[in-house]
Structure 1
Amino acid sequence: MPAIQLPEGYSYAVVAASSTIYLNIWQMSRVNKARKQAGIAYPQLYAEKAEVEASQSALVFNCTQRAHQNTLENAPHVILAMLVTGLKYPYVAAGFGGLWVVGRVLYTLGYSSGHPSNRNARGGILSTASFLGLILATTFTVGKLLMAEF
């Protein structure tokens, strides 16, 4: 198995991957604020249907919580894709990764407005498109790495 040599610019891919930490912290703070405003006690993960029907702040909490949860569901795959793609194409990895983070910020702002359909206006589309770009770039990168062995 050949040794992996990190290319010039790989640090940009690492920076993009590391920025997801700050995205997570920002989303956690939004969830905590929405939880407090809605009066949803721990360990309740989401407001119940009756709470949502009685309170707009409970709906906002659920939307904010769901935006964060959705990010957490995708983050491991996105981070791995950034780091793998960065082995051959660090600027591509950093670009798609940075766009994904920006998209997640916009997604969170739209979703946590209390109107769930707002999640896809710009933010959802941007984060999905950049994730698809990362998936394709990772597939191509892995193919090149495998071909280098033959």
Structure 2
Amino acid sequence: MPFILPDGIEYVGLALISTQLVLLFQEITVGHWRKISKIKYPQLYAEKAEMEANPDAVTFNCAQRAHANTLENVPIILVGTLVTAMKYPIFAAVTCGLWSFSKFRYTRGYLKGADKRNSRGGILGSIMQLR
């Protein structure tokens, strides 16, 4: 029995690439705020005293947490997209692409403060994981 890929599977590939672009954007953002806040490697997060002394350290923590949240959810999205794509490739591509867009917005919102993250894409990303 031959394995036949459904029509529209190429869109799934593009959507999966979008997840990598979001991760790249987040890596660059974390590096940028790490440099500005002067948080040295291998320290993952700024400590309370560092955040009180330097507002940029708070933004660094927000960027780091947004990136970590995305890394925690990427396996769910990748597997869900690939499984869904076997029957509904366009739907899988659209939901994966929307998830990527939501994570971009989530990160941008999180950089403005932890209370802004859900209003900037967090809720949409959660909905896209439900498919």
**What are structure 1's unaligned runs of at least 5 residues?**
134-150
CA-to-partner distance for each residue in 1:70-106, whole Å, 9 max, x for gaps? 0011011101111110010000000100100000000
- Contact (CA 8 Å) 2:85, 2:92: kept in 1 or not? yes
Q: Give the aligned residue type for 1:130.
A: M
- Contact (CA 8 Å) 1:14, 1:83: kept in 2 or not? no
Q: Give the aligned residue type for 1:7.
A: P
In structure 2, C-alpha distance between the alignment counterparts of 1:32 and 1:73, rounded to whole Å: 19
Give the 5 Å matches for 1:93-108. 93-108=92-107
In structure 1, C-alpha distance between the alignment counterparts of 2:23 and 2:106, rounded to whole Å: 13
Q: How many residues align?
A: 131
Structure 1 residue 5 corresponds to structure 2 residue 9: no
Structure 1 residue 64 corresponds to structure 2 residue 48: no
CA displacement at 1:69 relative to structure 2: 0.6
Normalised TM-score (structure 2)? 0.96
Q: Give the aligned residue type for 1:105.
A: F
In structure 1, C-alpha distance between the alignment counterparts of 2:120 and 2:36, rounded to whole Å: 27
CA displacement at 1:3 relative to structure 2: 4.9
Taking only the aligned residue pairs, the percentage that are identical comes to 47
- Contact (CA 8 Å) 2:108, 2:120: kept in 1 or not? no
In structure 2, C-alpha distance between the alignment counterparts of 1:46 and 1:106, rounded to whole Å: 22
SS at match of 2:102: helix
Give the 5 Å matches for 1:1-150. 3-113=2-112, 115-133=113-131
Larger Rg: 1
- The 1:50–1:118 alpha-carbon spacing in structure 2 relative to 1, beyond 3 Å, is same
CA displacement at 1:4 relative to structure 2: 3.6
- Contact (CA 8 Å) 1:20, 1:101: kept in 2 or not? yes
Normalised TM-score (structure 1)? 0.84
In structure 1, C-alpha distance between the alignment counterparts of 2:120 and 2:41, rounded to whole Å: 32
Q: Give the aligned residue type for 1:70.
A: N
In structure 1, C-alpha distance between the alignment counterparts of 2:3 and 2:75, rounded to whole Å: 21
**What are structure 2's unaligned runs of at least 5 residues?**
none
